[in-house]
Amino acid sequence: MIQGTSSSVGKSVLTAALCRIFARRGLRVAPFKAQNMALNSFVTSGGEEMGRAQAVQAAAAGREPEVEMNPVLLKPEGHSRSQVILMGRPWKTLSAGDYYACRETLWASVAASFEKLAGENDLLLVEGAGSPAEINLKKSEIVNMRVARTFGCPVLLAGDIDRGGVFASLTGTLALLDDEEKTLVKGFLINKFRGDVKLLEPGLEMLSGLTGGRPVLGVIPWLKNLAVAQEDSVYLEENRSSGIPGAVDIVVIKFPRISNYDDFDPLALEEGVSLRFVDRPEDLGKPHAVILPGSKTTLEDLAWLRRSGFDGLLAALVLSGASLAGVCGGYQMLGRRISDPLGVEGASGGGDGLGFLPGETLFEPSKETTRVTGATVPGEGFPGSRSVPVEGYEIHMGRTVLPRGARPLLSLGGGRTDGAVSAGGRIWGTYLHGIFDSGEFREEWLRFLGRREPGKDLPFRVVREQAFDRLADEVEAALDMKALERIIGL
């Protein structure tokens, strides 16, 4: 089990690396995280919603994601409440106090999921959440030491040296555990190191001396451009831009409740593309394109967009020739109106959309969670005169209706369509998360925005497979694999 001294120390990425390392050895490996708090989510082939990080870890293990890999998913809707996704389906919206009162009900699903996966696999690689030393939450947590104690998981404690204070973080975390929990911690991982490891060795020896001889099993180097999805919002705070400013400048509006921001990882990895996340109007500049991403609270984030003054700037950019795109909640905002009479996403109400596209959205209690394949509808400008295949997944509560004669973006088969596109194609929206994973779609849009050089029209899953191998190679080289195998019992 990989636990951490805090959030964003790299637990998810390290778990993905171990999934690929042991899968390459021929073991049947599965990731597991009992409870995940994230707005980045994924839809399984059965239509269940789960944390995006565990879906990525499953892919690293060469597996199809299963909802048991993340039985409890919390999707924050505000500072004091979250939607609880239990076994892939919306269960309840709860305050923090009410959530902890329900922990035994949730634990039953956690335990059943763990036991099912353990019976079907050679190795489970378990990820904790935050820190096991949150002493105010220890009696009610269901994701860190309770999992380790119940199922006898040996624990590796990971710390982020790039932030500073890693030795204090590791020793302090261990000190706050009780004796039974301390016995489960078998060693440490130091992540995100830059420099010469030899200069760190005296500190590693002192750390071992201070913690009862526990070894540091590896010092993992700082790795850039991993193409491995991150689940933590801290990552987005620290990585607001990527790429060298080049021929195509793309801005993603960073809503207060932005969801599935990893939709745009394929754009960030393209050469000649600058991808920036912006939450202040003064940082918008004059990009070639602006994307409105998904949102957990669409009406609230739309109100924030207007209060911030982004709406007028977006209109000016469109008039100057820039492109405007929306994904999921962002697509809903681009339409004429959004109505939530039942208060599905919060307080009941509704309001005018930005009016760039003709659709009107009505929120309903049922949640759409499904995998989708389809193709672009040919038309003037973007997406072009030929049909381009796409695939992705839908996660949304609202239903958007277009008026007769409006131009859809995608044909999904069976007479269904998705999204909308303006005349000429400069403004478009879709419900499909993962649409930029399609190399041909991505290339068509970037060419429409003015990029002249050919880009990486590989499907993003191919790029990510290469990234998994690179990640596994780097981490395996940094780890004492023999010691790790002894801890695991291989």
Task: Clarify whether 102 is annotated catalytic.
Answer: no
Contact between residue 228 and residue 467 where contact means Cβ atoms under 8 Å apart? yes
b/e burial code for range 400-422 (CB count within 10 A of at least 16 → b): bebeeeebbbbbbeeeebbbbbb
Token pair of 248 as six digits: 């195509």
Task: Clarify whether 153 is annotated catalytic.
Answer: no
What DSSP state is assigned to residue 407?
Answer: -
The one-letter amino acid at 376 = T
Tell me how far CA of residue 421 lies from CA of 205, 250, 339, in angstroms: 61, 18, 21
How many residues would you count in the chain? 490
Contact between residue 364 and residue 349 where contact means Cβ atoms under 8 Å apart? no
Tell me how far CA of residue 20 lies from CA of 8, 127, 228, 478, in angstroms: 20, 15, 12, 15
Alpha-carbon Rg for the chain in angstroms: 23
Task: Give strand ranges (E) for 349-467.
Answer: 349-352, 360-376, 389-401, 410-413, 416-418, 420-421, 427-430
Cα 121 to Cα 119: distance, rounded to the nearest angstrom: 6
Report the catalytic residues: 328, 433
